[in-house]
Chains A and B, each alone.
Chain A
Amino acid sequence: MTFFTELGRYLLMIKGMFSKPENMKVYWKEFMHQCNDIGIGSLGIVVIISVFMGAVSAVQTAYQLVSPVIPKSTIAQIVRDTVILEFAPTLVCIVLAGVVGSKIASELGNMRVSEQIDALEIMGINTKAYLIMPKVAAALVVIPMLVVISGVLGIWGGRLAGVASGILSAAEYDKGLLSSFFAYNVFFALTKAYTFAFIISTIPAYYGYYVKGGALEIGRSSTKSVVVSCVLILFADYILAALLL
């Protein structure tokens, strides 16, 4: 299948998502269920990654900044900005592409292969709307939240590591954090988060929904969806940086 037919089918899938729900209550329940799955399900890994990435960037920045002219508080500034601008949105979303993306793709793939999607279709339910829409909506709500949490934890991890390894004092770190802070960076990080959330939910949904064959193909399409989402995230990351910074 050529690139353009795939793209066309993807866009039609997105369009098909926006139809009137047959029953709002069932959709709402499914939405909450997905929020729980995506949000709570990946909270643990997000916490671990965030704390460590903050800690590592504090220690490595200190290692690179050897000049005595630069004040120690600059380390905090650099950690803050790299975490907010790049690490929290991009790194976390790449990991989520693996965690959430493969889950979405294999769930839908399994439903397709075992005819559960056909069964829903026969009942007179718009399967694109019922199966994909709640997942995308949940991702759009929950993933930016995870990114915010990750940013906070990353900065806190940097402070912890900085103080623990004796690089700088807590007071110096806090001073650095407060100097020359641009609220725009947070806006930028959230823009990224929303974009990536859309990618993380729709690309695996596409690969899962249109899978053909059996269990082997489910695995294959789930791997493929993760790879494609990661590449698209990095690509979008670059485009957004070029456009908005």
Chain B
Amino acid sequence: MYLFCLQIIYWLHYYYNNKQVAGSSTAIKQPLRRTLQPLVVCAAVKSIHQLVLMIEVKNIIKGFGDKIVINDVTATMQTGKCNLIIGTSGSGKTVLMKCLVGLFEPDKGEIVYSGHSFTAMGEEERKELRQQIGMLFQGSALFDSMTVEQNVMFPLDMFTKWSFAEKLKRVNEVLDRVNLKDANKKFPAEISGGMKKRVGIARAIVLNPKYLFCDEPNSGLDPQTSLVIDKLIKEITTEYNITTVVNTHDMNSVMEIGDNILYMYQGQKEWEGTNQEIIFSKNDRLNSFIFASEFLQDAKDMRMLEMKGKIDNNRNMDDLIK
């Protein structure tokens, strides 16, 4: 709410400043300005509304043949947060994500990007919007015939008119960002899975996207690399204040980065909440997903105790366990 008000003030300030500069010759008369003011405020509120609510998913249904894979999912993907879609394999995470970016056309429902209906957009408008979207695919989807450097440079080649030196600078910047050095001249076939994912992320963020989609960014990776990638995604999200959507079935990442979690069960949204709430959820299906391992069940108990400890005014955990 605070942000909201700040934005309105900023917007109005900006508007009047502009008017004074641009409209000095055709200055709007004072009374007219007064009548316009409420309208301007309305417009400002609307535009801020569009800025804040980034991706809205409304009653999406998608089936293949007569098998329904996504069944009436409604959700909001928030800006500046990692929005997680979790669930077991085959629960429809990838299909949902591909519906969001338009690689699959949903049978019913609407997808809205910052107040603009993606579903109703034509081919050209979508192409324009997509220049603000970065996506990391489950299999990385790097271009085989290009080196790491060329892969990351490709969006720059296509959509900027920069010189080669400028492009190279940016490429090295993002490769540095994902902790990948000395691999510029290697081909995708010559690097490991974790490196591929990182190159995939670098390619996805090279044009400073407003929306970032990651399909299982840490599947098939060792826990350490996996953590590095999670942290990276989280950092990028908060640093550039973008809307990030991540598919995962990895509980570590859920606890690490889950600001807004959507639990999918057989194509339906079963639960929604944050990583603070998830371990206390009363949903049986969600619980059997989260605590699939004994270890995590123990962790839950520990966490409960820890929380209780905090509530009971900094009592020592050791005492509690005793």
Residues of chain A having any CB pair with chain B under 8 Å: 22-23, 25-26, 110-111, 114-116, 118-119, 121-126
Contact = CB atoms under 8 A, between A and B. Distances in A.
B157 A26 contact: yes
B141 interface: yes
Given A116-B144, A118-B103, A125 B139 contact: no
A22 B131 CA distance: 11
Given A26-B157, A123-B130, A114 B139 contact: yes
Given A115-B137, A119-B141, A23 B103 contact: no
B127 A122 contact: no
B128 interface: yes
A23 B127 contact: no
Given A114-B141, A119-B141, A124 B127 contact: yes
Interface string B96-108: 0010010100000
Interface in B201-255: 213
19 contacts: A22-B158, A23-B158, A25-B157, A26-B158, A114-B141, A116-B142, A116-B144, A118-B98, A118-B137, A118-B141, A119-B143, A121-B103, A122-B103, A123-B154, A123-B155, A124-B126, A124-B130, A124-B133, A124-B159
A116 B159 contact: no
Given A23-B157, A23-B158, A110-B144, A119 B127 contact: no
Nearest to A22: B158
Contacts of A125: 127, 158
A123 B158 contact: yes
Given A121-B103, A122-B130, 15 more contacts: A22-B158, A23-B158, A23-B159, A25-B157, A114-B141, A115-B137, A115-B138, A116-B141, A118-B137, A119-B135, A119-B143, A123-B158, A124-B128, A124-B130, A124-B133
Nearest to A125: B158
Contacts of B137: 115, 118-119
A121 B135 CA distance: 10
B96 to A, nearest CB: 15
A226 B101 CA distance: 34
B210 to A, nearest CB: 13
A46 B154 CA distance: 34
A198 B154 CA distance: 28
The 4 closest A-B pairs by CB, nearest first: A124-B130, A115-B141, A119-B141, A124-B127
B131 A123 contact: yes
A115 B142 CA distance: 9
B128 to A, nearest CB: 7
Contacts of B128: 124
Nearest to A33: B145
Interface in B178-194: none
Contacts of A124: 126-131, 133, 159
A122 B154 CA distance: 13
Given A23-B159, A116-B144, A122 B139 contact: no
Contacts of B155: 123
A116 B144 CA distance: 9
Contacts of B101: 122
Nearest to A115: B141
Contacts of A110: 144
A226 to B, nearest CB: 22
Contact of B127 (A26, A111, A118, A126): A126
Contact of A122 (B135, B143, B144, B159): B135
Contacts of A26: 157-158
A217 B73 CA distance: 33
B301 to A, nearest CB: 41
Contacts of B98: 118
Contacts of A23: 157-159
A115 B139 contact: yes
A123 B151 CA distance: 12
A65 B3 CA distance: 95
A22 B159 contact: yes
Nearest to A113: B139
A64 to B, nearest CB: 49
Interface in B144-164: 144, 154-155, 157-159
